[in-house]
Structure 1
């Protein structure tokens, strides 16, 4: 028997600094739409959790590693990081005030309430591209999940983050031996090659099976020590 979800219900619609962002409910799912482009929903989360786990595994036994998560989204990455006592400071950079509000006081708070109350957690309202260029903080891991992948960005300005200059900024905020982990809805051999060309080591791509279609992936690279 098929399941009918009906018409999506818009819970909030706002004009943000980068265009329109919408939170809607579709059946039992919450969905985030940006400028008419579907970003993510609460249906699964295994690939977002794998993003965080792959970064931690690549760090080996480094004590109290600091992680920078690019993009709050529906909160899977943050909640999963906060559930692991091995992480030290957890910083999330999110550029949309509406998304932050939906987690603090809105419908998405159910999934991240505990994580947001964790003293290790810090939410920074900023554009990640600007943040990695300007921050003086450094991290052991940088987990990027702000687009549908290096080849399918939410806004044109995000494209520069996956260029050699953008990846140099990512490396700048990483401590020696730190790991860059990038989520993507599909493999990007070109991006994997760029990671190696700009100096990241042990570059690899991990696949995460999905219900149907091309697997999600996490691209990984280590900043030289």
Structure 2
């Protein structure tokens, strides 16, 4: 078996620890300590996040989507495949090196999506971007952590707090959707979404595109 080779490392702003990019043959992995955050072989639930978000805004002219977290680009790639030409997509990525990796060693995996004319890359905190907007997006798709528990960066908890969810509501247009990816269920988060007035649906999604392996959770929270 081929050995893993570490290609690069990057510090997460805000005392979030260090990401490591590793490669084994054509397979890539992004690690935080001993925890694997993402693997290029497992894209199923990230693609489902995009598919559900795109279905919610289908038919809206000039729709705007915000994707929080570039990662390995699975959500962005699936969204662009489903969205029409008049939709604009903002991708907020906190760690500049992740964007560099997308244009460098993982360029084939991203398949030119960063250069799509519908796409704008925002290097910075997606939470700050959300708080600065009002009625700006038809869909906000968040995959910035392992879920609403702030694993990679404690301040990510602010995204999923009552105040963070109210900010997301404000940033959404009427009947807009906040879609949140998680590696596991979280009943407390479901309750917080409902507390601030979202209509909530929990969707189970397989990690693998072959519909095998771990089950992840996607919350679809619609603004009334």
Contact 2:133 2:170 in 1 (8 A): no
Distance across 2 between alignment mates of 1:152 and 1:37: 14
Q: Does 1:223 align with 2:219?
A: no
1:161-211 per-residue CA deviation (whole Å, 9 max, x = no partner) reads 11100101111111111000000111222211111110112x110111343
**1:212 matches 2:208:** no
Indicate the residue corresponding to 2:9 in structure 1: 13
Q: What is the aligned residue count?
A: 217
Is the 2:149–2:156 Cα contact (8 Å) retained in structure 1?
no
Does the 8 Å CA contact 1:10/1:23 hold for their aligned counterparts? yes
Q: Where does residue 48 of structure 2 map in the other structure?
A: 50
- Which residue does 2:124 correspond to in 1? 126
What is the DSSP-based 3-state SS (H/G/I as helix, E as strand, rest coil) of the residue aligned with 1:122? strand
Where in structure 2 are the equivalents of 1:25-40 lying within 5 Å?
25-40=23-38
Q: What SS does the aligned partner of 2:82 have?
A: coil
Give TM-score scaled by structure 1 length: 0.89
Structure 2 residue runs of 5 or longer lacking an equivalent are none
1:94 touches 1:125 (CA, 8 Å); kept in 2? yes
Q: How does 1:54-203 map to 2 (within 5 A)?
A: 54-86=52-84, 88-104=87-103, 106-135=104-133, 138-151=136-149, 153-201=151-199, 203=200
Mapped to 1, the partners of 2:198 and 2:134 lie a distance apart of: 21
Stretch moving more, 152-161 or 182-191: 152-161
Output the TM-score relative to the length of structure 2.
0.89
Cα deviation for residue 90 of structure 1 reads 0.8
Deviation at 1:52, TM superposition (A): 0.9
